[in-house]
Structure 1
């Protein structure tokens, strides 16, 4: 659940909070407690912007905050990331691709400027485009189909930067070699393991460390184990 707090004083920006709970009474109690503490701090909660999401449950009990019923949604944007009820990353990747395409299009004059060196263009691409495209990609559960879509976008951008247009042809390997680029799958793996190392160096009571090692309790559905980010990471480690 994501309550939106708005300070009562002027000149201050709103704040976003995310509340988590396993049971409906717990989330309702947290909402009531948040409302009480917000009033004590001089903050007001915008109930119309507060959204709720239930994962793997069809029954939706009504949650109230500030006397108003909270709307249920299937997806929500939190800290620049799309959170879906099904837990997938399809919407996250589509959102990242859309933002990267928009950012790349706004710099068309730079890409086509013959007075700017290719080295400078590639530095701009890696700094401004790739950082937008691969934002939080270390937490993505990738598949071959998703990797192909990301790689196709990157290859298209690199060809525009290098001025390679039809009917001129160049293989992807030659394109990566002349632009000093690694395949997108390797870049995502590098970011993931760098983040894992950063998380493991934290204290045991750190939220990041706890989230990395957290093991959800309860029974699972009958059938083959579903591929998760953690299982894919363990598999990559075993293949090393």
Structure 2
């Protein structure tokens, strides 16, 4: 196997910044604190807020490109606009959400970005004082947080059907060793579809 030293980066996953010195043939590998992998920003401190914020910015940008062409088009049916939203915008907002643990901040970012797009599709503004639930019913679309939770449960069932030697199955069923750091523990992935508090 050949490795390109100039293109290879290293990163440690830790709450605190750690220095990991790696070298290949005497050349030190550059260590980074974050990198973009398949559209997802992976950080060393596992900051999901930064990841979701970046996806929300991309989704809002795509929605802005479609505003004058699609959302404001009076000759296009509402159902067709919603289908375009589900095809072009929502996948960007929820990419890799099946394996991510949501927090109250990430859920707020997703809902805010989605409702901004749905209001443009329906022709409403915040001055109209139209409730978000009424707009979703008019568009016949599920809340993006609940939709993401359903996708997370679907991924759980998919992993459960895998063999015990598969990496995804081992990752889901195994428990990490060692002591947890001091402070409030981060939200676990399993809690995002099993806890009743996640229904909101």
Is TM > 0.5 for Structure 1 vs Structure 2?
yes
TM-score normalised by the chain length of structure 1: 0.73
When residues 62 and 128 of structure 1 are mapped into structure 2, their CA distance, relative to the original with a 3 A threshold, is same
Query: What residue number does 1:207 align with?
Result: 167
The alignment partner of 1:106 has SS state of: helix
- How far residue 147 of structure 1 moved from its aligned partner, in angstroms, is 1.2
Structural RMSD (CA): 2.2
Q: Aligned equivalents of 1:224 and 1:107: distance in 2?
A: 41
Query: What residue number does 2:181 align with?
Result: 221
The alignment partner of 1:190 has SS state of: helix
Q: Which one of the candidate residues 151, 158, 171 is aligned to 1:191?
A: 151
Q: Which aligned pairs between 1:90-239 and structure 2 lie closer than 5 A?
A: 90-108=49-67, 109-165=69-125, 167-222=127-182, 225-236=185-196
Larger Rg: 1
Please list every run of 5 or more consecutive structure 1 residues that lacks an aligned counterpart in the other structure. 1-36, 39-44
When residues 171 and 234 of structure 1 are mapped into structure 2, their CA distance, relative to the original with a 3 A threshold, is closer
Give yes or no for the alignment of 1:47 onto 2:9.
no
**CA displacement 1:128-182 (0-9 Å, x = unmatched):** 1001111111222212222122111111101111112364331111101100122
When residues 170 and 219 of structure 1 are mapped into structure 2, their CA distance, relative to the original with a 3 A threshold, is closer
Please list every run of 5 or more consecutive structure 2 residues that lacks an aligned counterpart in the other structure. none
Q: Which one of the candidate residues 18, 34, 43 is aligned to 1:75?
A: 34
Higher relative contact order (CA 8 A, sep 6+): 2
Matched-pair contact (CA < 8 Å) for 1:47–1:66: no
The alignment partner of 1:76 has SS state of: strand
- How far residue 115 of structure 1 moved from its aligned partner, in angstroms, is 1.6
The alignment partner of 1:82 has SS state of: strand
Aligned length, in residue pairs? 196
TM-score normalised by the chain length of structure 2: 0.87
Q: Aligned equivalents of 1:149 and 1:162: distance in 2?
A: 20
When residues 185 and 166 of structure 1 are mapped into structure 2, their CA distance, relative to the original with a 3 A threshold, is closer
Q: Aligned equivalents of 2:48 and 2:129: distance in 1?
A: 33
- How far residue 92 of structure 1 moved from its aligned partner, in angstroms, is 1.2
Matched-pair contact (CA < 8 Å) for 2:102–2:187: no
When residues 200 and 166 of structure 1 are mapped into structure 2, their CA distance, relative to the original with a 3 A threshold, is closer
When residues 209 and 86 of structure 1 are mapped into structure 2, their CA distance, relative to the original with a 3 A threshold, is same
Q: Aligned equivalents of 1:161 and 1:232: distance in 2?
A: 30
Query: What residue number does 1:60 align with?
Result: 19
When residues 61 and 141 of structure 1 are mapped into structure 2, their CA distance, relative to the original with a 3 A threshold, is closer
Matched-pair contact (CA < 8 Å) for 1:62–1:70: yes
